[in-house]
With several copies, the nearest count.
Chain A
Amino acid sequence: MKDRTQLAQPGEYTLGDLMTVAAAREVRDNEVVFAGTGMPMIAIMLAQRTHAPRLKLIFEAGTLDGRPKELPTSVGDPRCEVGASVASGLYEAFSIAQRGYVDLGFLGGAEVDEYGNVNTTAIGDYLNPLLRLTGSGGNPDINSFAKRTVYIMVHEKRRFPKNVSYITSPGWRVKNWPTGEWVHRRELYGAAFRGGPSAVISTAGVFRFDEETGRMYLDTYHPGMSPEKIREMCEFDLDISRVSGETVPPTYEEIHLIHHVLDPDEIFLAKPRKE
């Protein structure tokens, strides 16, 4: 029998597993975490079952400090409510976030720029879009209010552009309306400034931000990737000078939890072919 604390070998886990585990590691114990639908949910539930058993989970639709037994398919799902401290509503969830209780937000996005600005609204000219997406949802809200925000994204060159088509969710350098000049997030948010995007976990690697310049840099690259390859996969000039190494793969225990406890029905994550 394998030692469950050991790291798995390539082929024994999927890219989804790797990203989920990388995301789970961003959570610290006792934190209040505000999570969106999908992979973020699995990552948080994984953290809850490993190193952060006392994290408090908030879902946008109104569940406060929930302890779901089964994976919810969305934040409005009754599965969110199981074991919760309070079942309330959106006004309560967003008020709590605006009041400053949230340590960490977990979100997704269609595009991200060098400063961590994320687009989930429309591709192309907003007034004449090539593709209309879902819209903001709570993405800008969670990201505006949390101390740190982690994004989980598919990595394609066009999804890491110089400028996103539409800034749905604020990065480290944002637009000062009505003029639209670029300013550091800190300047605009005043007393509400608490932090910003702290990591992007893509299908290629894990990225972080220099809080002063606001620029994204590569922290770790996934097995099979290289810093140079990843720089080629960004339309902006990615800082690869601060790479710390390869993304640490999941342990056998983590793979077991993902596929046999958290998502056995492959709702969000397909099982590895060989397991």
Chain B
Amino acid sequence: MTSRSKRISLSEAAEIIKDGSLLTFSGFTIWRRPCALVYELIRQKRRHLHLIEVNSGPHSEFLIGAGCVDVWESCWIGHELYGKYGANLARRVRQKEIIYEDYSHAEMAFRFQAAAAGMPFMATQTSLGTDIHNPDYDMLGRAGLRNGKNPKIPRKKYHIVDDPFFGDGRQVLVPAAKVDVAVLAVQQVGDEGTVRIAGQFFTDPEVARAADITIVIAEEIVPEEYLRHESHLNKIPSFQVDYIVECPWCAHPTGMFRFYDVDGEFLRNFYTQTRSQEGFNEFAKEWIFGLNHDGYLNKLGVPRLARLKANTVLNYSTRVERGRK
């Protein structure tokens, strides 16, 4: 017997994310980002989002460029080989149009792990002595957002203690990364919500459990029974997933292990074009507004997507051009 159906459409999924939400995503830099949903959020003109991410990438550059984001809290943003840094974040930082909060990558991973385990913090010794811990650079604090009004925003950026057990010295307590909604882009989800992730799973299991609402967008919705025959291959249990969406190529232009590679040309063009707000607006006009996901795929065209398609033995594309030439 199955649960009440969790299946919804892409636009219904975007509607679940309210203005002002604390939002996070699956994936890693330019891999397995739920871009199809991000485009839909931009079409729906979502505002005042607080992104809190283990690391960031093109999906957040889209949202930031479109003016959907008030707070960006993470450790990294860029396009890897295809764009040196996040030009839209950089522009809005320079123009003081966004609050940015920097942690280290391990700190962000531990923050999500803490939230996923229902712990208020975890202890780490990374990044001691760096400006990441500079108390003047607590940007949420400077903005007055650590007043306890939003119960998910910690009242301090860090809390330093000494190890009481082994004399191991200074420990940095990093607060749990509590989020309202997590959106994941994965290969397969069962019709009751069980998630199977192929390849590196990044921080997806933690991210799903750190959120109050978890939306999973998958290349395929498959029979739950099939996934349950090999439960050790699954990464997120049914009851942690609230909504599921079937959407092929949901991560484009980022890549999806076993399904398709990163569209480097798309990212390089985006990075180059959107270093100005005018450039971003043109990009959005061309690739986001006035299109739905099917229109977007049609615009990309079959030959381009065929080049990105992963070799099923190697799990990555052997046809995509990756070199500089």
Contacts and interface: CB of A to CB of B under 8 A. Distances in A.
Chain A directly contacts chain B within the complex, with at least one CB pair under 8 Å: yes
Interface in A117-169: 117, 121-122, 126-127, 129-141, 144-145, 166-169
Nearest to A192: B125
Contacts of A130: 94
Contacts of A81: 199-200, 231, 257, 315
B285 interface: no
11 contacts: A61-B29, A78-B258, A85-B239, A86-B194, A86-B237, A98-B106, A98-B126, A133-B85, A136-B76, A190-B125, A191-B125
Contact of B323 (A90, A136, A185, A266): A266
Interface in B7-28: 27-28
B173 to A, nearest CB: 14
B185 to A, nearest CB: 13
Contact of B192 (A73, A85, A98): A85
A65 B195 CA distance: 13
Contacts of A62: 200-202
Interface stretch (B44-52, B112-120, B215-223, B300-308): B112-120
Interface in B250-308: 255, 257-258, 261-262, 264
A73 B93 CA distance: 28
A6 interface: no
Contacts of A135: 74-77, 102
A224 interface: no
Contact of A136 (B93, B104, B322): B104
Contacts of B257: 78, 81
Contact of B131 (A76, A167, A191, A265): A167
Interface in B56-84: 74-78, 80-81, 84
B324 A134 contact: no
B105 A61 contact: no
Nearest to A60: B105
Given A136-B132, A188-B170, A144 B31 contact: no
B54 to A, nearest CB: 6
- With most chain A CB atoms within 10 A of its CB, the pick from B74, B84, B130 is B130
A61 B137 CA distance: 27
Chain A CB count within 10 A is highest, among B104, B112, B199, for: B104
A99 interface: yes
B169 interface: yes
A85 B315 CA distance: 17
Interface in B190-246: 190, 192-194, 199-206, 209, 227-228, 231-232, 234-240
Contact of A141 (B32, B78, B100, B127): B127
Contact of A78 (B84, B190, B192, B310): B310
Contacts of B237: 56, 64-65, 85-86, 96
A141 to B, nearest CB: 4
Interface residues of A, number: 86
B184 to A, nearest CB: 13
Interface of A: 30, 32, 37-38, 53-54, 56, 60-67, 70, 73-91, 94-101, 117, 121-122, 126-127, 129-141, 144-145, 166-170, 174-178, 180, 183, 185, 188-192, 265-268, 270
Nearest to A165: B131
Nearest to B135: A178
B84 A166 contact: no
B89 interface: yes
Interface of B: 1-3, 27-32, 54-55, 74-78, 80-81, 84-86, 89-90, 93-94, 100, 102-107, 109-110, 112-113, 115-119, 124-137, 160, 163, 166-170, 190, 192-194, 199-206, 209, 227-228, 231-232, 234-240, 255, 257-258, 261-262, 264, 310, 314-316, 321-325
Given A145-B126, A175-B131, A190-B170, A74 B200 contact: no
A95 B104 contact: no
Contact of A88 (B2, B90, B133, B200): B200
A191 B176 CA distance: 14
Contacts of B227: 85
Given A191-B163, A266-B323, 13 more contacts: A76-B30, A78-B199, A78-B315, A81-B231, A85-B193, A98-B119, A136-B76, A144-B125, A166-B131, A175-B130, A189-B125, A189-B128, A191-B168
Contacts of B236: 86
Given A141-B104, A175-B134, A86 B109 contact: no
Interface-central residue, A83, A144, A185, A265, by most chain B CB under 10 Å: A144
A136 B118 contact: no
B233 to A, nearest CB: 9
